[in-house]
C-alpha cells in the first residue's frame, strides 16, 4: 500500500515527534507514505468566506498531486486534515471554487475533487484494520488508562469530515483497545482546547484546558492522547495535570519501535 503523505508545517517544527513516529509505524504496518517534494503550508485555517480562493490553492495543489500519482492522500495534523478535506469537497461540489482554482493554477489536468483524503486514523481503521494492528502489537499498553482527546477540528463539521460521530466518537478508543490500552471515555473529549485563543487570551484557553483535564481526571484518565499538535500544545502548556502524547507515539510503543517513557 502506497499513499501520498501531507505532513504540514507544524510536523516539521513543533510536532516532529508526530511525523517521525507516524512514518515509522506506517512502515512497520506495511503502508508506504510518500511525501511530495514541493508541498506548501495548507493555510492552517479553512477559509469560511466563499470567494476566498487564494488560501485554498496550496491545498488544491497537494490534492491534485495525489490525483496525478493515483494515490490516496494521508494527513496527520487535525488542522491540515480539516483544510484539505473541506477544500477537496469544495472542489467537488462548489462550481465557483472549482472554476476559479483551476483557472488560477493552470494544472496540466483540471482538478475536481477526485482524491480521497484520509486521516492517519482512518488509514489505521479503514485501510490497515484494527485486527491487523493488534496482530503486530508486541508491547501492548496493558493497564494504561488513557483518555482520547479529539478536540474540535478532527471530527467537525461532521457532515463534511465524515470520520466518526462527532458527539459519540469511537475511533481513538478503538485504536487504544487495538494496542492493548484501556480507553477511558469522558464527556469533554470532543470540546475545544482553546486553540489559537491562547495567543490572545491565555486565561480563556487555560480555563478550557482546565475543564477538560478536570473532567478527564474525574473519569479516571491517567494520561491523554491526541492527534492534533495545537491540542497537545494547549493541554501541555496551559494544563500539565496529565501527561499528553500523540497517538502515534503510543502506536510506536505498542509496536516495539520506541520504549515507553
DSSP per residue over 64-113, as a string? HHHHHHT--EEE-SHHHHHHHHHHHHHHHH-HHHHHHHHHHH--SS---S
- Which of 128/148 has CB closer to other proteins? 148
Cα separation, 202 vs 226, in Å, equals 21
Within 8 A by CB and 6+ apart from 118, the residues are: 3, 72, 73, 74, 75, 126, 127
Binds other proteins by CB under 8 A, chosen from 28, 215, 222, 243 = 215
Binds other proteins by CB under 8 A, chosen from 185, 197, 241, 257 = 185
Residue 222 makes contact with other proteins by CB under 8 A = no
CB burial of residue 67 (10 Å; 0-12, 13-18, 19+): buried
CB of 165 to other proteins, least distance (A): 7
Residue 188 makes contact with other proteins by CB under 8 A = yes
> Judged by CB under 8 A, which stretch of 71-79, 174-182, 193-201, 212-220 contacts other proteins?
212-220
Residue 191 makes contact with other proteins by CB under 8 A = yes
CB of 194 to other proteins, least distance (A): 15
Residue 116 makes contact with other proteins by CB under 8 A = no
Cell 462527532 belongs to residue: 166
Within 55-94, which residues bind other proteins (CB under 8 A)?
Answer: none
Angle at 207 between CA 204 and CA 213, to 5 degrees: 145
Residue 251 makes contact with other proteins by CB under 8 A = no
- The grid coordinates listed for 189 are 473529549
- Which of 88/190 has CB closer to other proteins? 190
Residue 87's nearest CA partner among 53, 130, 118 is 53
Residue 197 makes contact with other proteins by CB under 8 A = no
C-alpha of 203 from chain center? 26
Residue 100 makes contact with other proteins by CB under 8 A = no
Which residues contact other proteins (rule: CB under 8 A)? 159, 165, 167-168, 185, 187-188, 190-191, 211, 214-215, 218-219
Amino acid at each position: 500500500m502506497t499513499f501520498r503523505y501531507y505532513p504540514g508545517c507544524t510536523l516539521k517544527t513543533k510536532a516532529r515527534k508526530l511525523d517521525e513516529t507516524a512514518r515509522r509505524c506506517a512502515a512497520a504496518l506495511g503502508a508506504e507514505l510518500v511525501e511530495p517534494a514541493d508541498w506548501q503550508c495548507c493555510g492552517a485555517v479553512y477559509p469560511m468566506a466563499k470567494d476566498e480562493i487564494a488560501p485554498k490553492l496550496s491545498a488544491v495543489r497537494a490534492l491534485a498531486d495525489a490525483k496525478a500519482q493515483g494515490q490516496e492522500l494521508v494527513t496527520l495534523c487535525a488542522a491540515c486534515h480539516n483544510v484539505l478535506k473541506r477544500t477537496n469537497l469544495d472542489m467537488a461540489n462548489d462550481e465557483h471554487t472549482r472554476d476559479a482554482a483551476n483557472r488560477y493554477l493552470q494544472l496540466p489536468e483540471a482538478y475536481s475533487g477526485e482524491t480521497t483524503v484520509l486521516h492517519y486514523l482512518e488509514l489505521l481503521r479503514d485501510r490497515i484494520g484494527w485486527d491487523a494492528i493488534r496482530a503486530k502489537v508486541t508491547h501492548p499498553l496493558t493497564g494504561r488508562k488513557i483518555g482520547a482527546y479529539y478536540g474540535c477540528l478532527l471530527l467537525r463539521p461532521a457532515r463534511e469530515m465524515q470520520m466518526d460521530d462527532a458527539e459519540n466518537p469511537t475511533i481513538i478508543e478503538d485504536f487504544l483497545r487495538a494496542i492493548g490500552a484501556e480507553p477511558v471515555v469522558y464527556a469533554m473529549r470532543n470540546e475545544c482546547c482553546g486553540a489559537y485563543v491562547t495567543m490572545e487570551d491565555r486565561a480563556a484557553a487555560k480555563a478550557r484546558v482546565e475543564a477538560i483535564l478536570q473532567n478527564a481526571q474525574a473519569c479516571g484518565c491517567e494520561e491523554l492522547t491526541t492527534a492534533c499538535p495545537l491540542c497537545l500544545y494547549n493541554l501541555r502548556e496551559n494544563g500539565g495535570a496529565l501527561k499528553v502524547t500523540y497517538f502515534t507515539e503510543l502506536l510506536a510503543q505498542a509496536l516495539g519501535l520506541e520504549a515507553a517513557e
